[in-house]
């Protein structure tokens, strides 16, 4: 119940904030332009669905390549950290001379 109230409050707050922002002329102009751009893009892809699918496929491939590259870099960094830790843990600590000798 509390979760639902939280989400409802966030949605209402966002809607009210958006409406208040539209009182500004520049904000209205920007919103109008973005809605116009979205309408044009929607109409274009409705007429050319195969191009839309191809664009989505290309973006997915690009994301996949970037993600894989980032994961490889992270794995390499972890391996280097692991090797460094192993080097330090294999060294025997220096023993202090025992003064009682």
**pLDDT interval class at 78 (50, 70, 90):** very high
pTM of the predicted model as reported, rounded to 2 decimal places: 0.50
pLDDT digits (tens, 9 = 90+) for 11-66: 999 999 999 999 999 999 999 999 999 999 999 999 999 999 999 999 999 999 99
Residue pair 51/45 in contact (Cβ under 8 Å)? The answer is yes
- Residue 93's pLDDT is 58
């Amino acid at each position: 119940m509390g979760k639902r109230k939280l989400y409802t409050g966030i949605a209402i707050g966002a809607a009210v904030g958006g409406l208040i922002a539209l009182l500004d002329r520049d904000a209205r102009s920007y919103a109008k332009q973005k809605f116009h751009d979205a309408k044009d893009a929607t109409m274009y892809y409705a007429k050319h669905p195969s191009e839309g699918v191809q664009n989505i496929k290309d973006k997915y491939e690009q994301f996949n390549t970037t993600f894989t590259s980032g994961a490889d870099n992270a794995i390499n960094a972890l391996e280097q950290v692991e090797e460094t830790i192993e080097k330090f843990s294999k060294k025997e600590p220096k023993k202090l001379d025992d003064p009682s000798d």
